[in-house]
């Protein structure tokens, strides 16, 4: 039986409870797993600032794949150091946004950079703090996106009358050239440069450390976890995952509110102790 050397876990809906916190049990399990020789990697659609805040809340010291694979953070010393980014060319961004506007009139956009966030006023008007861990009234606004001097790693699109899931299905069916489209369960669609995903970033991290996919376990709950789950040797999900993920998983864990990831890490720790 191949020993698991690395566990990559999604955050929202997976590692985090429904109140968007990391439980003491989960924090303890991650630290004990690390001490037992199991590397923990966070893999999320979230941006650097909110990942850093979560890491501080639970003492996490490891690597994080952010913006669905477009940004890599090293949190080893407690600070969120960006070690790699994959940006979207302005021409590609403009073409993609025009294509989505043609497919779904009334759509609004925000551009996410390695550290920045610029939204159209219509986009900010639809937001709540929990959408991006940013207060809408504090968002930088621009009527003209993309901005020529603002690097971006992700484009987010939402519509006042169409759900994020439906917008995702519609845009995928229509096709958006040069972009990787995904959906995290949020009320918007996310677009990264073509080929960028949690899976691509995780594969690069593992290759650099000499870890094979068979030695990796992945936990996720939403569409943006699919490629990562398919790549890993062991695919896991919490019981609250969407149906497509439940069908894909090798094993279904207790829900995020029941600390499903912690229960898996605890089982790995016990195996290592034998």
Ranges of CATH 3.30.1240.10 domains, the chain:
90-193
Residue 182 phi, psi (nearest 5): -155, 175
- Could you check whether the bond before residue 146 is cis, i.e. omega within 30 degrees of 0? yes
| Location of structure tokens 């949690």 | 198
Would you give the DSSP letter of residue 191? E
Residue 274: what pLDDT?
61
Max CA separation in the chain (angstroms): 60
What tokens appear for 63 in the block?
């690597």
What tokens appear for 205 in the block?
């991290």
Across the beta sheet with 71-74, the strand order is 81-85, 71-74, 63-66, 39-43, 6-9, 216-219, 234-238, 251-253
Contact yes or no for 210/229 (Cβ under 8 A): no
Q: Hey, which CATH number is domain 90-193, 3.40.470.10, 3.50.50.60, 3.30.1240.10, 3.30.420.40?
A: 3.30.1240.10
What tokens appear for 104 in the block?
């779904």
Q: Which fold has domain 6-85+196-273?
A: Rossmann fold (3.40.50)
Distance of CA 267 to the CA centre of its chain: 25
Distance of CA 104 to the CA centre of its chain: 24
Ranges of CATH 3.40.50.1000 domains, the chain:
6-85+196-273
Give 201's strand partners: none
Per-residue pLDDT of the chain (274 residues; tens, 9 = 90+): 689 999 999 999 999 999 999 999 999 999 999 999 999 999 999 999 999 999 999 999 999 999 999 999 999 999 999 999 999 999 999 999 999 999 999 999 999 999 999 999 999 999 999 999 999 999 999 999 999 888 999 999 999 999 999 999 999 999 999 999 999 999 999 999 999 999 999 999 999 999 999 999 999 999 999 999 999 999 999 999 999 999 999 999 999 999 999 999 999 999 876 6
């Amino acid at each position: 039986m191949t020993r698991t050397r690395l566990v990559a876990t999604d955050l929202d809906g997976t590692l985090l409870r429904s109140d968007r916190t990391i439980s003491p049990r989960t924090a303890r399990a991650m630290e004990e797993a690390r001490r037992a020789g199991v590397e923990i990697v966070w893999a999320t659609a979230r941006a650097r600032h909110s990942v850093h805040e979560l890491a501080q809340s639970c003492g996490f010291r490891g690597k994080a794949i952010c913006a669905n694979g477009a940004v890599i953070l090293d949190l080893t010393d407690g600070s969120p150091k960006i070690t790699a980014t994959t940006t979207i060319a302005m021409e590609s961004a403009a073409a993609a946004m025009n294509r989505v506007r043609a497919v779904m009139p009334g759509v609004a956009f925000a551009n996410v950079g390695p550290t920045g966030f610029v939204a159209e006023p219509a986009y900010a008007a639809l937001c709540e703090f929990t959408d991006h861990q940013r207060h809408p009234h504090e968002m930088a606004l621009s009527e003209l996106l993309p901005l020529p001097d603002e690097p971006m790693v992700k484009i987010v699109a939402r519509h006042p009358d169409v759900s994020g899931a439906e917008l995702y299905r519609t845009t995928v069916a229509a096709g958006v050239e040069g972009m990787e489209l995904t959906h995290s369960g949020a009320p918007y669609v996310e677009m990264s440069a073509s080929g960028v995903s949690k899976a691509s970033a995780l594969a690069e991290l593992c290759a650099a450390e000499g870890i094979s996919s068979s030695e990796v376990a992945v936990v996720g709950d939403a569409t943006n976890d699919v490629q990562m789950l398919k790549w890993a040797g062991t695919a896991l999900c919490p019981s609250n995952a969407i149906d497509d993920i439940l069908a894909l998983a090798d094993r279904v864990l207790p829900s995020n509110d029941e600390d499903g990831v912690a229960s898996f890490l605890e089982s790995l720790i016990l195996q290592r102790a034998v």
